[in-house]
Amino acid sequence: MISEKQLSEYFHSFWKSHFPLLDTAYVRRFNAENKIRLFDIEGQVVLPVPIGEKVERFDLVSELAFELARETYQSSPYKEPDLEQARVRAEATIARLKGHPKISSVTRSELTEANALLDVYSEFFRTLPENSVLQFRPRIRGAGVLNLMEGDFADADTLFEVKAVNRNLQYTDLRQLLCYLFCGLGSKKYSWTRYCIFNPRLAVHYTGTISGLLEYLSGRPLNESIYNVLDALMEREQPLESLF
């Protein structure tokens, strides 16, 4: 079994076969044509959040900002955000990803930067439709050799993927998004029609229709594209190396 990250970073023949137009030229054009900057309630551009000189654990800062945003979004007049629980979850996630039982606690500099990213999340949430109800960490069933996955957040119509990085999108970022889309829609559990990639570090997002993205990259109708990929992942008779 493999993760969506492994599938996204390797197995290039698989991607070339099913999404032949997902190349460096397309990614360059995607960044140039689809990037949308955030504006605050007064119409001012929301500025990027630079990486602080004393901040080295960028992954922890990004995870903490996400968990703080989750707590803040889910709070109400009757429920205060549990910021301490957000810290505990973020540290546990990074420890698990690094294969450690625990990691050292968040520093003051890391917390300051995470709060700056939280401000960008708040501006982004403000742009969502009033009737939008976000589900955080939606579980997405895998297919064949692809393991169970977990998205960042979603509402009934849109899957949101967070990339808190100090760079433009890369082809691996789009591949990972595609993993969530074809497995989520193929399982019939979700009925998303749109996608959004949100970068709180640069205060930008990219959005579009799922049908437009998959049909263009695959050269096939949406459902045919999805099920061709799922059929390939479900094929168990060939060794993994030859499958991809």
pLDDT at residue 53 above 60? yes
**Dist CA 114 CA 61 (whole Å):** 5
Over range 186-210, report the average pLDDT.
Answer: 98
* Range in 66-70, 75-79, 102-106, 212-216 the model is least confident about: 75-79
Say if residue 105 is in the same domain as residue 198.
Answer: no
Rounded to 5°, angle at Cα 97 from 96 and 100: 50
101 and 141 within one domain: no
**199/141 same-domain check:** yes
Compare 227 and 78 and report the one with higher pLDDT.
227
Same domain, 217 and 164: yes
Query: Using CA atoms, how far apart are residues 201 and 190, in angstroms rounded to an integer?
Result: 28
Residue 84 and residue 14 share a domain: no
**CB 161, CB 151: distance < 8 Å:** yes
Looking at residue 238, its pLDDT comes to 47
d(CA 118, CA 224): 39
Domain extent, residue 99, equals 57-126
pLDDT at position 241? 52
Residues 81 and 110 in one domain: yes
Q: What is the pLDDT of residues 138-162, one digit of tens each?
A: 999 999 999 999 999 999 999 999 9
Strands 194-199 and 204-209 come out as: antiparallel
Domain assignment present for 197 = yes
Q: Give the domain-ending residue among 96, 126, 156.
A: 126
Euclidean distance between the first and the last CA atom of the chain, given in angstroms as a whole number: 13
Closest CA relative to residue 4, chosen from 118, 135, 144, 134 = 144
Backbone dihedral angles phi then psi of residue 156, each to the nearest 5 degrees: -65, -30
Is 51 domain-assigned? no
Total number of domains in the chain: 2
pLDDT band at 122 (very low <50, low <70, confident <90, very high): very high
| End position of a domain, from candidates 106, 126, 146 | 126
pTM (predicted TM-score): 0.93
Residue 30 belongs to a domain: yes
Boundary (domain end) residue, out of 126, 149, 181? 126
